[in-house]
Each structure stands twice: as structure tokens, then as C-alpha cells.
Amino acid sequence: MGWLEPLAFALLTLVAVVLFSKKVAAIRRNILLGRKEKINDQPAKRFKNMLLLALGQKKMFNNPLVAILHVFVYAGFIIINIEIIEIIIDGLSGSHRILFPLFPTLYPYLINSFEVLALLVLVACVIFLIRRNALYIKRFVSKDLDGWPRTDANLILVTEIVLMGLFLLMNASDTMLQQRALGHYADQQTGNFLISSYFHGALDSFSDQTLIITERASWWLHIIGIFAFLNYLPYSKHLHIVLAFPNTYFAKLQPAGKMDNMPSIQQEVLYAMQPALAPTDAAPAPQRFGARDVMDLSWKNLMDAYSCTECGRCSSACPARQTGKLLSPRKIMMDTRDRLEEVGRQLDLNNDWQGDDRSLLHTYITTEELMACTTCNACVEACPVSINPLDIILQLRRNLVMEESRTPAEWAALFSNVENNFAPWKFSPDDRDGWTRSV
């Protein structure tokens, strides 16, 4: 290859790694803007959940056909990219298929398995493109995905198809050059590969020089595409490829739908019922009730937002959504991520949060959306990677109720009765057992 190609490859690799690392650091900083939350209980159970949900994709198998296609894309793409190790070594050293002499028997089997997976990835991506754009699947035509989110999903699928095609074209042109015993290609006689050999008929008419250009172009475009994908990943919903693992590990293990109480509020209720227990010293500084902006949410809530796959299973399962209400759990997660990214951009510019006239509550998520939630937990149960939109909804709604006193009239009457009568009904506490005497 000479010295020019290894130098160009080294610079390309350095730029790709630096840019990726910079964005990952920014995402980590953004997530840590959230409230501290200690999650370290039952590590064995958490590790099991991670293996079943993130690696095994257990919840995806509620729809077996889609699950199998998703496994092809996910596992196939990850496994195929093991070959990047060889490409990087070849690129930096100026060698060609450097691993073949080390594993001459195993190597053809590995590449053949990669090619079969590449074909499965390619076919699955084509099917997913058809499902997203040609079939009327409600969660894919939702207004939640209007604009960039829909383009993002299609762009990733097209990119994967192109990368798999380049991988097969690279192998096909390489093995033909080996057969023609041209230059250094003659030194590595790997034999034909299972899938790429079908390209030989189309390439047979190519001159030696054109074939070399085809092999080099597909090699370079393949690795440039991989590096581009790597750096696009943190800006895309496909960040879930990485975050699905920590997100499922740190998911709540408490009973489904259990709500977290606020100890400070519980104390106030206790003091109201038993004044003698109230402290005589000055009350502590008031804290915000619930959440108004992303900084009021926990770091796990913010990791949830970055882990969202935008698949829409949560919104499809939501009974409020099904009855035409404005609520969409998917939009809740997308809005949280968009607001967090907005805050992150200001931090990038000023190295400090100066505040603005916007907030997650009201600017991004409306009162109508929050009040439509029935707290049934269907969205959490439906999510393949244990994202919890309900937790964010409850915290935002708690802020509405406790700081803005914005509740439906029916709720206000209930709260008043609980406060005055210690029951949801409007009668004296002394008469609470009256119904037993009338039976």
C-alpha cells in the first residue's frame, strides 16, 4: 500500500475516535445533570435482566417474526464488525488480510459466517424499510415521528444496507483479484466466500485495474461508513444499541406500577395528623415538588430518554392514546431527550447553565398530555429496554399539582376531602363507619 494509505487511515481513525469520545462525554455530562439516585441493590437480578432484555431481547419476542429480523440486524451487524479489527490492523500497517496466515483454516469459516449474517442484515433492513414506509403500521405513521425522527430511522436502515453491500463487494473483488494472482492479493489465497462469490459474474468483465479500484474503493467506503455510523450513533435514536445494556441493568426492580412517595410530604402529613411530632426548630428550605425541567429528574430518567428506540410500542399499548387522548409516552421520552440536548448545547457554549425561559413542563410537554395518563404502567411493560415514561409523567404531574395547583375539578374535590375528612368522600371522619350500621 505504501506509506500514504496507512497515514490517511491513521488520521481518519484518530478523527473518528476523538469526535465520538467528545460526544459520548457530552451525553454523560447531560445524564449526570439529573438528580442523584442510588441504584445498587440486587446486582445478580439486575445482571440477569440485562442479559435477558438487552442481549436476549426477550420482550421483542412478543412478535416473533419482527424479533427474529431484529436479531439478524442487531447481532449480525455487531458480529460482522468484528472484522473491523482486521481492517484497522491492515489499515494502520499497510497489510492485507493479516489474520488469514494466523488462522488459515478458521478464517474462511469466519468470513463465510459474516457473509451469511450480512445477507440476513440486508434482507431484514429492506423488510423494515417496507414496514416503515409502505405498510400502514400505526406506530410508524404517528405524528410523533414527523420530521427528523422518521428520516433518522430510514437513514440508519439505508446505511446498514449500503455497509453490508460494500462488505460483500469488497470480498467479491478481493477473491477475484486472488484468482488473477495480481500483486499482494496473490499472497493470500483465501478461496471464494459463500455469498460474495455470486458477485463474480458481474465483476468478471472488469479489467485488472478496474477490479483493484473496486476493491480499494469498497474497502475505504466500508470503513469510512463504519466510522461515520459510529459518530452518527450518539446523535441518533440508535444510541440504544449501547445504552440498552446499562438501562436494563439499572431498571427498577420494585413491583410494577409502584409509585415513589416524597418523604418530605409524608412527614408533613404525619405532622398534620400528629402535631406533637412536629419539630420546634425552623423548617428546612423548601425543595421543588416533582419535576419542572430535566435537571429535576433523576439521572436514570435522563438515561431512559437517551435509550429510547422510538419504536412506539409504549404509545401503542397506552389506553389514553388508544382513545384519542393527546398523551404519547414515546413523545414524552423524545421531548425529554430534546430538552436535555438543548440544555447541553448551552453548556457547550457557555460552560455553565445560565437558564432560559423554557422548561420541559409546558414548553415541551403540556398539561393535557400529563393529565391524560391513567398510570396503568402499560407503557413500561411494553418497552423492550425497560424505559419508564410513567416515572417522568408522575414527577411532572406532581409539580403541576403541588406547585401550580393545576388539577381537574374532580381531583381538587378529592384532595379537599382527603385533607379535611381523611377520606375521598365528603362526610365527617366520625361517620366513616356509618355504612356498617346501615347494613
For 180-207, where are the alpha helices, taking DSSP H only?
200-203
Task: Label residue 2 by pLDDT band (50, 70, 90).
Answer: low
Residue of 153, 135, 157 lying closest to 145 (CA atoms)? 153
| pTM for this entry | 0.87
* Per-residue pLDDT at 310 exceeds 60: yes
In a domain, 207, yes or no: yes
**Is 218 contained in some domain?**
yes
Residues 237 and 325 in one domain: no
Each residue of 68-107: b (16+ CB within 10 Å) or e? ebbbbbbebbeebbebeebbeebbeebbbbebbeeeeeeb
Same domain membership, residue 196 and residue 94 = yes
Count Cβ atoms within 10 A of the Cβ of residue 207 and give its class: 0-12 exposed, 13-18 middle, 19 or more buried.
exposed
Question: Is residue 71 located within the same domain as residue 118?
Answer: yes
- Check residue 439 and give its pLDDT: 56
Which range of residues forms the domain containing residue 94? Answer: 4-31+63-241
Does 430 fall in a domain?
no
Q: Do the beta carbons of residue 397 and residue 371 sit within 8 Å?
A: yes
Helices 208-232 and 83-93 cross at an angle (nearest 10°) of 120
Indicate if 317 and 224 belong to the same structural domain. Answer: no
Q: Both 231 and 267 in a single domain? A: no
Write the DSSP string, 391-418: HHHHHHHHHHHHHS----HHHHHHHHHH
**What are the tens digits of pLDDT across the range 130-152?**
998 988 888 888 888 988 899 99
- Across 69-73, 319-323, 372-376, least confident range: 69-73
Amino acid letter, residue 247: N
Residues 199 and 269 in one domain: no
Are residues 84 and 211 both part of a single domain?
yes
State the pLDDT at residue 419.
78
Q: Is residue 145 part of a domain?
A: yes
Give dist(CA 399, CA 404) in Å, integer.
Answer: 7
221 with 309, same domain: the answer is no
Residue 431 lies in a domain: no
Give the total number of structural domains in the chain. 2
For residue 341, being part of any structural domain is answered with yes
Residues β-bridged to residue 298: 35
Please report whether residue 256 resides in a domain: no
- 305 and 230 share one domain: no
**pLDDT-based confidence at 10, cuts 50/70/90?**
very high
Evaluate if residue 173 carries a pLDDT over 60.
yes
Instruction: Work out the angle at residue 367's Cα, subtended by the Cα atoms of residues 364 and 370, and round it to the nearest 5 degrees.
Output: 90
CA pair distance 12, 343, nearest whole angstrom: 30
* C-alpha dist (Å) from residue 421 to 145, 270, 427: 47, 15, 7
pLDDT of residue 169: 95
Same domain, 235 and 307: no
What CATH number does the domain containing 303 carry? Answer: 1.10.1060
What is the rounded distance in angstroms from the CA atom of residue 21 to the CA atom of residue 50?
24
Residue 338 pLDDT more than 60? yes
Both 123 and 271 in a single domain? no
Domain assignment of residue 255, yes or no = no
Mean pLDDT of 27-36: 95
What lies within 8 Å, CB to CB, of 68 at 6+ separation is none
Do 366 and 401 share a domain, yes or no?
yes
